[in-house]
């Protein structure tokens, strides 16, 4: 790390877990190079948790600098908060966008299979697929989309999801949900990530980032995210530094780094996407308690990078 702001010749460099020097837990940083104009040190975050982090420089006269925010790729930013909530309790999807000619998902109070009602409150959204009509008809699959979520480097998406018992499971190109694209400005570089309803107890996650497709992240042991018997908590964390994490029911199922996409935004987001395999006319997936946190929001608690972000 390199510092070019000084309060005098440095004799002590520390990194802490809050901006209050008195109360912060601090770790001494081993200097590599010190001069009148710059300081270099070997970064040590041992015991400081997930961040954010702050740097203090103490000079030979004992003067302590103001805290400098330390930006570490893949770590949470100092400012974070919820920037979107679904508003399904209003009975409509007015906060969401329509995907071209496709029908929007419908707010409902009860499920087709009558297994469970809404996760929170009295309303949820139902997204249906009809495999008996042409792909280019409005009712082939319903979805909701978001194309304008404010963020700089970090975005965290959380929703509750439950497939209806009427949802078929197919094995070649099955139903896709929670699909987010990464538009880099050219059609030759195609980046996206999504979950798929293959036969099995859990949902695999597939994505392409930075023009590279890593191996599909298959469900961990005990992952039941494809079960119709429960609501499932699904979470995505994306950092433009190349960090991508996915949690299924609180368990980290995908943890990749090294796929930077620079200034290209991970948008638009689609709550459901296409299904190329043959399927019948009635297939439903439910979503509720959908929220998005970013580093453009304020007032949040917890950590996006650790999957613990919460609204006040």
**pTM for the full predicted model:** 0.77
Beta bridge partners of 70: 53
Query: Does residue 309 lie within any of the structural domains?
Result: no
Backbone φ and ψ of 141, nearest 5°: -155, 145
Boundary (domain end) residue, out of 14, 35, 70 = 70
293 CB contacts (<8 Å, ≥6 apart)? 80, 81, 82, 83, 155, 156, 158, 300, 304, 309, 311
225 and 134 co-located in one domain: yes
60 and 86 co-located in one domain: no
Query: Does residue 301 lie within any of the structural domains?
Result: no
66 and 85 co-located in one domain: no
- The pLDDT profile of the chain, 312 residues, written as one tens digit per residue, is 444 444 445 578 999 887 778 888 999 998 887 776 667 888 888 988 877 788 888 888 888 887 776 766 555 556 899 999 999 999 999 999 999 999 999 999 999 999 999 999 999 999 999 999 999 999 999 999 999 999 998 999 999 999 999 999 999 999 999 999 987 777 666 789 999 999 999 999 998 887 788 889 999 889 999 999 999 999 999 988 888 999 999 999 999 888 877 778 899 999 999 999 999 999 999 999 999 999 999 999 888 988 999 998
45 and 170 co-located in one domain: no
Boundary (domain end) residue, out of 46, 70, 94 = 70
165 and 232 co-located in one domain: yes
The neighbour count for residue 18, using CB atoms within 10 Å, is: 16
Query: Does residue 299 lie within any of the structural domains?
Result: no
Which tokens in the block code for residue 213?
A: 């497709």
Query: Does residue 76 lie within any of the structural domains?
Result: no
Query: Does residue 304 lie within any of the structural domains?
Result: no
The CA-based dihedral angle spanning residues 217, 218, 224, 226, taken in that order and rounded to the nearest 10 degrees: 80
Which residue bears the tokens 């304020």? 298
DSSP, collapsed to helix, strand or coil, labels residue 292 as strand
pLDDT at 3: 46
The neighbour count for residue 88, using CB atoms within 10 Å, is: 25
Query: Does residue 302 lie within any of the structural domains?
Result: no
Contact between residue 123 and residue 252 where contact means Cβ atoms under 8 Å apart: no
Query: Does residue 238 lie within any of the structural domains?
Result: yes
97 and 192 co-located in one domain: yes
Rounded to whole angstroms, the Cα distance separating 257 from 244 reads: 6
65 and 88 co-located in one domain: no
20 and 150 co-located in one domain: no
Query: Does residue 15 lie within any of the structural domains?
Result: yes
The CA-based dihedral angle spanning residues 76, 45, 42, 65, taken in that order and rounded to the nearest 10 degrees: 80
90 and 226 co-located in one domain: yes
106 and 39 co-located in one domain: no
- The number of distinct structural domains making up the chain is 2
pLDDT at 178: 98
Rounded to whole angstroms, the Cα distance separating 224 from 214 reads: 23
66 and 92 co-located in one domain: no
Rounded to whole angstroms, the Cα distance separating 199 from 59 reads: 63
172 and 220 co-located in one domain: yes
HSE (side-chain half, CA atoms, 13 Å) at 274: 8
Residue-number span of the structural domain to which 66 is assigned? 2-70
């Amino acid at each position: 790390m390199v510092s070019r702001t000084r309060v005098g010749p440095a004799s002590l460099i520390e990194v802490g877990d809050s901006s209050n020097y008195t109360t912060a837990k601090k770790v001494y940083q081993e200097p590599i190079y010190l001069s009148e104009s710059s300081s270099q040190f070997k970064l040590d975050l041992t015991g400081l948790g997930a961040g954010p982090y702050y740097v203090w420089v103490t000079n030979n006269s004992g003067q302590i600098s103001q805290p400098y925010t330390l930006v570490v790729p893949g770590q949470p930013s100092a400012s974070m908060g919820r920037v979107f909530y679904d508003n399904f309790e209003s009975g409509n999807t007015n906060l969401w966008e329509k995907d071209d000619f496709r029908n929007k998902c419908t707010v409902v109070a009860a499920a087709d299979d009558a297994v469970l009602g809404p996760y929170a409150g009295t309303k949820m959204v139902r997204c249906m697929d009809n495999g008996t009509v042409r792909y280019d008809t409005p009712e082939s699959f319903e979805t909701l989309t978001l194309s304008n979520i404010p963020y700089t480097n970090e975005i965290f998406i959380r929703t509750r999801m439950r497939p209806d018992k009427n949802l078929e499971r197919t094995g070649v190109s099955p139903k896709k949900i929670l699909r987010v694209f990464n538009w880099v400005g050219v059609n030759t570089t195609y980046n996206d990530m999504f979950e798929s309803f293959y036969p099995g107890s859990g949902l695999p996650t597939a994505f392409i980032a930075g023009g590279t497709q890593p191996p599909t992240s298959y469900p961990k042991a005990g992952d039941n995210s494809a079960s119709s018997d429960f609501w499932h908590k699904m979470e995505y964390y994306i950092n433009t530094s190349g960090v991508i994490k996915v949690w299924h029911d609180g368990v980290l199922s995908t943890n990749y780094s090294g796929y930077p996409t620079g200034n290209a935004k991970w948008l638009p987001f689609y709550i459901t996407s296409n299904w190329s395999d043959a399927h019948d006319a009635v297939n439903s997936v439910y979503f509720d308690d959908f929220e998005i946190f970013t580093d453009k929001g304020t007032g949040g608690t917890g950590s996006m990078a650790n999957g613990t972000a919460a609204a006040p």
